[in-house]
Structure 1
Amino acid sequence: MSETTTTLLGQASRTRREARLERVLPGTPDAVWAAWTDPALLPSWFGPVLAGVPGPDQEYVLEGRGDHGDTITCRVLRWREPELLEHTWRYIGESADSVLRVEISPAGDGTLLRLRHGDLPPEVDPADYCAGWHMYTDAMEARLQGREPVADSDARWLELLPAYSAAAE
């Protein structure tokens, strides 16, 4: 999938308060798992780990891409390496924790990533998260292929958001 496409990779549901995304990424399930969980790899596609370390029953704080100072506090609920990661997600300024579930499985020469970000608080539009996860997994795909992700993640998110908003349930 090219970083220039706006073909939807998932569905936002305002009624169910969730964002879902599915895509095949290059590399093995172990490589995709490491991208999600290794503090040395997270900055290459998402952002740095500011506190704590991802791991079973651990809490950690991430910073998102871009220059906003966005922070996300996560508490691991399920850790089944290399196939399932589930944790709470509290984005700065949101009124409640949501739950991010990432399922990883082999898919031919690549890896199928299934992402469900649910229990989103009422002030959040799930389409925002669909566009965001599309943008972030674009960056992950680029890194897994040994390429640099797009430099302006905000512009990429803004490019994707109208399509996810229009298709939201």
Structure 2
Amino acid sequence: MTAEITKNPTGYNATFDRYFEHSLEQVWAMLTDNHKIHRWFSGLQMEEEGETGHLTLDMGHGKKKEFPVTDYKTGELLAFEWGDDHVRFELGPDGQGTRVKMVETLPNITDQTPKDVAGWHVALDIMEAILDGRGIERTSEWERWYPEYKRLFESMGVDFA
């Protein structure tokens, strides 16, 4: 199931609502423990955890982008800048598992946007697969979801020509 794309006063939101059959502690560790982060998002790293912390993304060739944390509550909430966008993970217990709500706030839609949203979709799928102890092929999954997101944005009147 794709993310829900909605218009907001300053752009769009891409909201992913997922349920993982794993404890809140296990899911939280996927977002904050660098050994686990690297398995689902290569190059992303939590440099400093907490409200004044930041993440970095290794862009290759010795270059890193820094993404300041904008909201943080241990075990419940991690939000950070993502270039011009903003990413927010909200976690909560749900029965035996964890409800994960991820919202990417998109002030500008470009031809890169459906690629990025498909990337977050696959990143969440990979996170779940790791927790489940099963494999997943990143590239083929992305190639499956990217056209779906491109069509979704086009159906909202976004023109990528």
Q: Same fold (TM over 0.5)?
A: yes
User: 1:16-95 counterparts in 2 under 5 A?
Assistant: 16-49=11-44, 52-63=47-58, 72-90=65-83
- Match among 128, 133, 140 for residue 155 of structure 1: 140
Once the two structures are TM-superposed, the CA of residue 87 in structure 1 deviates from its matched residue by 0.8
**Secondary structure at the residue paired with 1:131?**
helix
Once the two structures are TM-superposed, the CA of residue 20 in structure 1 deviates from its matched residue by 1.4
Q: How many angstroms apart in 1 are the aligned matches of 2:21 and 2:46?
A: 29
Higher helix share: 2
Q: Post-superposition, which runs of at least 4 consecutive aligned residues in structure 1 deviate over 4 A? A: 69-72
Query: How many pairs are equivalent?
Result: 151
Q: How many angstroms apart in 2 are the aligned matches of 1:82 and 1:50?
A: 17
**Secondary structure at the residue paired with 2:34?**
coil
Structure 2's unaligned 5+ residue stretches are 157-161
**Secondary structure at the residue paired with 1:76?**
strand
Q: Identify which of structures 1 and 2 has the higher relative contact order when contacts are C-alpha pairs closer than 8 Å and 6+ apart.
A: 1
Once the two structures are TM-superposed, the CA of residue 50 in structure 1 deviates from its matched residue by 5.5
Q: How many angstroms apart in 2 are the aligned matches of 1:146 and 1:113?
A: 18
**Structure 1 residues 72 and 134, CA, compared in 2 at 3 Å: closer, same or farther?**
farther
Once the two structures are TM-superposed, the CA of residue 131 in structure 1 deviates from its matched residue by 1.4
Q: How many angstroms apart in 2 are the aligned matches of 1:75 and 1:101?
A: 12
Structure 1's unaligned 5+ residue stretches are 1-6, 91-96
Note the aligned Cα RMSD (angstroms).
2.7
Q: Give the aligned residue type for 2:80.
A: H
TM-score of the pair, normalised by structure 2: 0.78
**Structure 1 residues 111 and 14, CA, compared in 2 at 3 Å: closer, same or farther?**
same
Structure of greater Rg: 2
Q: Deviations over 1:113-161 (max 9, x none)?
A: 11111034343554333311110011000111122332xx233212101
Higher strand share: 2
**Secondary structure at the residue paired with 1:17?**
strand
Q: How many angstroms apart in 1 are the aligned matches of 2:96 and 2:114?
A: 30
Q: How many angstroms apart in 1 are the aligned matches of 2:91 and 2:80?
A: 15
Q: Give the aligned residue type for 2:149.
A: Y
8 Å Cα contact 1:103/1:114 also seen in 2: yes
8 Å Cα contact 2:89/2:102 also seen in 1: yes
Question: What fraction of aligned residue pairs are identical, expressed as a percent?
Answer: 25
- Match among 109, 116, 120 for residue 133 of structure 1: 120
